[in-house]
Structure 1
Amino acid sequence: MTESRKASFGFTKLIVYDEEAQAEYYHQVYGLNKLHRVQNDDSGAGGAIREVIMGSGDTMSSESLVMFKLIDRPAPRDQEVILGFITDDLDALASRVLAHGGKHNGPIKSMPEHGVRVLFTTDPEGRLSENVELLAK
């Protein structure tokens, strides 16, 4: 018996040190657009916050990535999430990562047995992303 869905996935928030610089990185490298900014001096997250809400289109939708700044606290030092991106051109994405202050964690790996090429990268603040190009079948 199939259970009815209780909720749907809506967004991912990265806790960052510099929300504007990180938003620009994710715009330049992944083409995400800066859709909306939020500032709240008394958020439910435990103090003042600033956010840049990003998405793939021109309007907010359920596919969004948020650069989340806790104004009175430092960003966490340890990885809390690995972002996953799918691209048609991993080599071009790899170049954009370097051009905008990110780093490669190693070379691009071809994994034909899984039908992918993969490159792990870090953004300018050190957050990990797994970038995947699907191979033609």
Structure 2
Amino acid sequence: MAEQHAPASNYGMSYIFGKTFVHDLDAMAKFYEEVLGVVPNNRHQDEMLGRKIDEITYRPAYPGGPSLTLIKYLDSTGPATGESVQGFMSQDLEATVERALAAGGSVAEPIREMPEFGIRVAFILDPEGHVNEVIQMLS
């Protein structure tokens, strides 16, 4: 992370969003909003791949940035956890870890420094076990 690269894309493509499947959409929305500070943009019910869904999309953290969506298939409890990793940047990693623990999450890997990337990192699990990699810049 310490080395900066110019934005790049082949074929004019841009990564604009990621979706994490959850079991309890309302509980997970509360966790992500309280712990990681994401701001809801909209809630949408529809069909995807022939299955009914309910999803909450969050606003990007900066103009043009990617957005997070929490999504639930209404006809099942959802896929196994660990199917994705969402990345967040924090200004205060200890405070983020404390909020996660207070909100029913857990810490899969405690805070450690990675000077070769210029970051500190922790892996936080939401109450359903979804992986969130949270970094803080060293400088």
Category of TM-score, reference length = shorter chain: 0.7 to 0.9
The residue type equivalent to 2:48 in the other structure is G
CA contact (8 A) 2:122 2:134 kept: yes
Shift of 1:17: 0.5
Gapped regions of structure 1 (runs ≥ 5): none
Give the TM-score normalised by structure 2.
0.84
Alignment of 1:113-128 (within 5 A): 113-128=116-131
Q: Quick one: structure 1 residues 34 and 3, their matched pair in 2 at CA, closer, same or farther if it must change by over 3 Å?
A: closer
Aligned residue pairs: how many? 131
Which residue of the partner structure matches residue 113 of structure 2?
Answer: 110
Is 1:53 the equivalent of 2:57?
yes
Which residue of the partner structure matches residue 36 of structure 1?
Answer: 42
Q: Percent identity?
A: 35
Single out whichever of 31-40 and 111-120 deviates more from structure 2. 111-120
Distance 1:105 1:4 in 2: 35
The residue type equivalent to 1:48 in the other structure is K
Which residue of the partner structure matches residue 65 of structure 1?
Answer: 68
The residue type equivalent to 1:50 in the other structure is D
Gapped regions of structure 2 (runs ≥ 5): 1-7
Deviation per CA, 1:8-67: give whole Å up to 9, x if none: 211111111111111111111111111101112xx132311111111246xx96521111
Stretches of 4+ aligned residues off by more than 4 angstroms: none
Tell me the secondary structure at the aligned position of residue 107 of structure 1: strand
Q: Quick one: structure 1 residues 73 and 61, their matched pair in 2 at CA, closer, same or farther if it must change by over 3 Å?
A: farther
1:8 to 9, 14, 24: 14
Which residue of the partner structure matches residue 20 of structure 1?
Answer: 26
Shift of 1:4: 5.7
Q: Quick one: structure 1 residues 132 and 4, their matched pair in 2 at CA, closer, same or farther if it must change by over 3 Å?
A: closer
The residue type equivalent to 1:103 in the other structure is S
Distance 2:106 2:9 in 1: 43
Shift of 1:124: 0.8
Q: Quick one: structure 1 residues 107 and 3, their matched pair in 2 at CA, closer, same or farther if it must change by over 3 Å?
A: closer
